[in-house]
């Protein structure tokens, strides 16, 4: 298992190098070059010359790339054009919000999707099955921002069950945030009211964000369970008189899990990019909304760092997924 | 050799052709029997019909304003003259939805064409040559796929500036690694198939085997992917427009932007958010259903 893990981690190196080249070239492909990215489009020629020298833009490209990698490794992503703050601080401040949102969404998707897909497969052709198939189709077709508006209108504006936007009530500005995870902060600082408030702010955006992974997880669980349930070893287990729950746990679920885990990993990427849209709909202060604002303001240091950051998270999540294969299925380790 | 003998040989030789036609005919027969395919095709045809005949179908111009009826915080809802009501600038909502289909269709078709053409060219190179060409193309694809697709599209569109062209290029580029990888994978499995090996052993050149046999037989998954990619392209284009990355011209009725613009009026005019949302769902659902039905129809494992 250790060798399998080590090999898988080594495979990351070329991907990460490739990503850094992609993002490095990204601002250099900009009309006007990286000077524009650093200074914005209305910089004076003197400032441009100054920046070219300061950042060594007159040096050969490979030297520039090496110094870019060096600054990335020392977590220096430059300064945001709009907020004039170091990009790394801006991202660090908003990252917990996005983590809270995506983790809540994934929890909803997994907690609903796997049981729903399982029941649909076991009651193949029943109304539960048909309903879950139709529902997951709709979940795939509806854009997250359209669903976000729908949820916001019904549950926030009309019914008033949930707040319409933000991460916490504006009346709670005195709350302390030692970790940046607002729900956790409420618990840690002994302020249950703040924790509940933060949770209420999470529900609607997380629901909107959860639909696509929910749809895919339901579909793949249903397909996977249907396939495994038809295998010979399941029939053998039935024939030798094993009880239904034991067959389900030991044979069906465990073998059906691999494709489900793959989908969960892949969907994390959709969650991260979906967060850009959902956070915008709900004015939820996370990396996604920050990135969307940066796109609008053409704040390239932020766009560059944000894309690199989210891509690295996506790559790491998929590493975890691959490693979990090794735990779920011993055969993978020997390959 | 008698004439009839030569004829017999010819029929024998042309059998693979017939088998190919057989696969397509078979797939078409399966499609006609699949309710999923019928619903999907109907929605797609409806969408394409509306897009093409928008100037005939739309009751008003999508840019004509009737400001006399619009007051702040209160826009006239659905009525006999304006079936879906007026938007915040006094434009007929139905006409804007109808013309919006054009933008969605054009962006979808152009971007998927860009992605499929470039991706297939790269996949063909990788699958045909193997070796370092293959490694280079596939590692490049891996790196691009390491960035979540919408995020990559946002980056590219931001780089190119706000326009419909940059949206099409952005979504097209995001699709390149998907098609490259798909075609290469299908070609690899076809290359080792019995008929390819048989042709090689008969002395047919490698290039001819690839072009005549391996490539055409690898196209089924590409066709399926192209249909599904159209669904994704429409959603992603709407997402980019929603973020303000589409055309900067406010008169252009892009569904994603129409949705974004209603944010300020959501409490009083929820219907204005509903119509573009529904339009996106219907068009995406059509391509998605059709794509899934095609996948089932073209899957050799499911053939009887």
How far is Cα A211 from Cα A278, in angstroms, rounded to an integer? Answer: 12
Q: Which of A26, A145, A315 comes nearest B159 by C-beta?
A: A26
The whole-chain average pLDDT of chain B stands at 81
> In this predicted model, which residue has the larger pLDDT, A92 or A82?
A92
Neighbours of A181 (CB within 10 A): 18
Question: In Å, how far is A123's CA from the nearest CA of chain B?
Answer: 21
Q: What does the buried/exposed string (b/e) look like for B82-93 if buried means 16 or more CB atoms within 10 Å of the residue's CB?
A: bebbbbbebbbb
The torsion angle over the Cα atoms of residues B156, B161, B167 and B171, rounded to 10 degrees, is: -10
Per residue, what are the HEC states of A272-303? HHHHHHHHHHCCCCCHHHHHHHHHHHCCHHHH
B274: chain A residues, CB-CB within 8 Å: 150
Partner A, chain B 60-119, Cβ-Cβ below 8 Å: none
How far is Cα B24 from Cα B297, in angstroms, rounded to an integer? Answer: 9
Alpha helices in A152-253, H assignment, sequence order = 182-188, 192-229, 232-239, 244-246
Query: For chain B, where are the E strands, in sequence order?
Result: none
A-chain residue closest to B162, CA distance: A296
Q: Which of B154, B239, B266 comes nearest A149 by C-beta?
A: B266
Instruction: Give strand pairing partners of A79.
Output: A86
**What pLDDT does B174 receive?**
92
What is the Cα A148 distance to its own chain's centre?
17
Report the pLDDT averaged over residues B106-117. Answer: 93
User: Minimal CA–CA distance to A222: which of A130, A141, A142?
Assistant: A130
Report the pLDDT averaged over residues A252-279. Answer: 82
Report the pLDDT averaged over residues A260-287. Answer: 84
Residue B117 has pLDDT above 90, yes or no: yes
Q: What length does chain A have? A: 335
Instruction: Give strand pairing partners of B86.
Output: B92
Report the pLDDT averaged over residues B121-127. Answer: 89
Q: Which stretch of A181-195, A271-285, B9-23 has the lowest confidence by average pLDDT? A: B9-23
**What pLDDT does B248 receive?**
81
**What pLDDT does B16 receive?**
47
3-state helix, strand, coil in chain B (%, to 5): 75, 0, 20
Contact in structure between B200 and B209 (CB atoms under 8 Å) = yes
Instruction: Assess B139–A contact: CB distance below 8 Å, yes or no.
Output: yes
Contact in structure between A95 and A196 (CB atoms under 8 Å) = no
ipTM of model: 0.81
Report the pLDDT averaged over residues A126-147. Answer: 85
Instruction: Assess B262–A contact: CB distance below 8 Å, yes or no.
Output: yes
A137 and B231 within 8 Å at the Cβ level: the answer is no
What phi and psi, each to the nearest 5 degrees, are found at residue A256?
Answer: -80, -10
> In this predicted model, which residue has the larger pLDDT, A261 or B69?
A261
A143 and B142 within 8 Å at the Cβ level: the answer is no
Question: In Å, how far is A172's CA from the nearest CA of chain B?
Answer: 24
Going by pLDDT thresholds of 50, 70 and 90, the confidence category of residue A80 is: confident
**What pLDDT does A253 receive?**
78
Phi-psi group of B161: left, alpha or beta (phi > 0 → left; psi -120 to 50 → alpha; rest → beta) = left
How far is Cα A228 from Cα A208, in angstroms, rounded to an integer? Answer: 31
3-state secondary structure of B53: coil
B260: chain A residues, CB-CB within 8 Å: 145
Local structure of residue A142 (DSSP, 8 states): S
B-chain residue closest to A297, CA distance: B158
Among A29, A82, A149, A300, pick the best mutation site for testing chain B contact (most B Cβ within 10 A): A149
How far is Cα A25 from Cα A19, in angstroms, rounded to an integer? Answer: 10
Neighbours of B23 (CB within 10 A): 16
Q: How far is CA B141 from CA A119, A184, B122, B180, in A?
A: 37, 39, 10, 8
Report the pLDDT averaged over residues B172-183. Answer: 91
Q: Which stretch of A12-16, A94-98, A265-269 has the lowest confidence by average pLDDT? A: A265-269
Tokens of B222: 């590409």
Q: Which of A15, A295, A303 comes nearest B143 by C-beta?
A: A15
How far is Cα B168 from Cα B162, in angstroms, rounded to an integer? Answer: 11
Question: In Å, how far is B267's CA from the nearest CA of chain A?
Answer: 6
Q: Which of B149, B154, B260 comes nearest A295 by C-beta?
A: B154
Q: How far is CA A97 from CA A171, A172, A183, in A?
A: 19, 16, 10
The whole-chain average pLDDT of chain A stands at 81
B147: chain A residues, CB-CB within 8 Å: 19, 22, 307, 310-311, 314
> In this predicted model, which residue has the larger pLDDT, A173 or A107?
A107
Tens-place pLDDT, residues A15-60: 888 888 888 887 777 666 666 666 666 677 777 777 777 666 777 7
Q: Which of A152, A280, A310 comes nearest B266 by C-beta?
A: A152
The reported pTM is 0.82
Tokens of A89: 């601080």
Going by pLDDT thresholds of 50, 70 and 90, the confidence category of residue B113 is: very high
Question: In Å, how far is A264's CA from the nearest CA of chain B?
Answer: 14
Angle, alpha carbons A171-A175-A180 (nearest 5°)? 120
A150 and B277 within 8 Å at the Cβ level: the answer is yes
**What pLDDT does B118 receive?**
95
A-chain residue closest to B156, CA distance: A26
Instruction: Give strand pairing partners of B74.
Output: B71
**What pLDDT does B94 receive?**
83
B242 and A30 within 8 Å at the Cβ level: the answer is no
B144 and A22 within 8 Å at the Cβ level: the answer is yes
Instruction: Give strand pairing partners of B92.
Output: B86
3-state secondary structure of B91: strand
Tens-place pLDDT, residues A154-205: 887 878 788 877 777 766 666 777 777 777 777 777 777 777 777 888 888 9
Report the pLDDT averaged over residues B66-82. Answer: 71
């Amino acid at each position: 298992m250790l060798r399998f893990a080590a090999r898988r981690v080594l495979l990351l190196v070329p991907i990460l190098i490739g990503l850094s080249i992609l993002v490095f070239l990204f601002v250099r492909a900009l009309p006007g070059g990286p000077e524009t990215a650093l200074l914005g489009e209305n910089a004076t020629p003197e400032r441009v010359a100054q920046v070219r020298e300061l950042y060594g833009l007159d040096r050969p490209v490979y030297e520039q790339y090496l110094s870019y990698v060096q600054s990335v490794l020392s977590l220096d992503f430059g300064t945001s054009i709009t907020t004039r703050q170091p990009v790394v601080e801006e991202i660090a401040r908003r990252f917990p919000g996005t983590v809270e949102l995506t983790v809540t969404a994934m929890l909803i998707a997994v907690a609903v999707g796997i049981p729903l897909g399982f029941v649909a497969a076991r009651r193949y052709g029943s109304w539960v099955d048909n309903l879950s198939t139709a529902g997951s189709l709709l979940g795939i077709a509806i854009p997250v921002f359209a669903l976000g508006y729908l949820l916001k209108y019904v549950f926030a504006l009309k019914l008033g069950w949930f707040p319409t936007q933000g991460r916490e009530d504006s009346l709670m500005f005195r709350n302390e945030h030692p970790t940046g995870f607002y729900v956790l902060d409420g618990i840690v600082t002994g302020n249950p009211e703040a924790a509940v408030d933060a949770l209420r702010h999470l529900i609607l955006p997380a629901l909107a964000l959860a639909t696509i992974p929910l749809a895919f997880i339901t579909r793949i669980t249903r397909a996977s369970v249907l396939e495994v349930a038809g295998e010979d070893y399941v029939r053998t287990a039935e024939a030798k008189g094993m009880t239904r729950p034991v067959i389900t746990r030991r044979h069906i679920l465990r073998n059906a899990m691999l494709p489900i885990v793959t989908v969960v990993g892949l969907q994390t990427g959709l969650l991260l990019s979906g967060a850009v849209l959902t956070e915008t709909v709900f004015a939820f202060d996370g990396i996604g909304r920050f990135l969307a604002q940066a796109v609008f303001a053409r704040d390239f240091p932020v766009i560059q760092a944000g894309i690199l950051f989210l891509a690295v998270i996506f790559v790491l999540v998929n590493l975890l997924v691959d490693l979990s294969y090794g735990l779920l299925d011993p055969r993978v380790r020997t390959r | 050799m008698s004439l009839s003998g030569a004829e017999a040989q010819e029929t024998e030789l042309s059998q693979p052709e017939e088998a190919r036609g057989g696969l397509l005919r078979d797939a078409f027969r399966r499609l006609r029997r699949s309710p999923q395919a019928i619903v999907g095709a109907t929605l797609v045809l409806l969408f394409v019909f509306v897009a093409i005949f928008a100037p005939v179908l739309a009751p008003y111009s999508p840019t004509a304003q009737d400001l006399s009826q619009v007051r702040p915080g209160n826009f006239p809802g659905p009525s006999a003259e304006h079936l879906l009501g007026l938007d915040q600038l006094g434009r007929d909502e139905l006409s804007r939805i109808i013309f919006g289909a054009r933008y969605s269709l054009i962006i979808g078709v152009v971007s998927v064409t860009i992605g499929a053409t470039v991706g297939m060219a790269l996949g063909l190179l990788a699958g045909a040559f193997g070796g370092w060409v293959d490694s280079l193309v596939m590692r490049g694809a891996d790196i691009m796929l390491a960035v979540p697709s919408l995020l990559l599209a946002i980056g590219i569109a931001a780089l190119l500036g706000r326009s419909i062209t940059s949206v099409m290029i952005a979504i097209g580029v995001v699709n390149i690694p998907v098609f490259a990888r798909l075609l290469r994978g299908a070609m690899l499995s076809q290359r080792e198939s019995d008929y390819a090996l048989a042709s090689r052993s008969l002395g047919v050149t490698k290039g001819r085997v690839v072009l005549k046999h391996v490539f055409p037989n690898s196209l089924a998954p590409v066709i399926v992917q192209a249909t599904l990619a159209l669904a994704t392209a429409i959603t992603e284009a709407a997402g980019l427009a929603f973020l303000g990355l589409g055309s900067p011209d406010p008169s252009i009725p892009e569904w994603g932007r129409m949705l974004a613009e209603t944010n300020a009026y959501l409490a009083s005019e929820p219907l204005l958010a509903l119509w573009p949302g529904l339009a996106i769902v219907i068009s995406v659902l059509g391509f998605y259903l059709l794509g899934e039905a095609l996948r089932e129809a073209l899957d050799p494992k499911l053939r009887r």
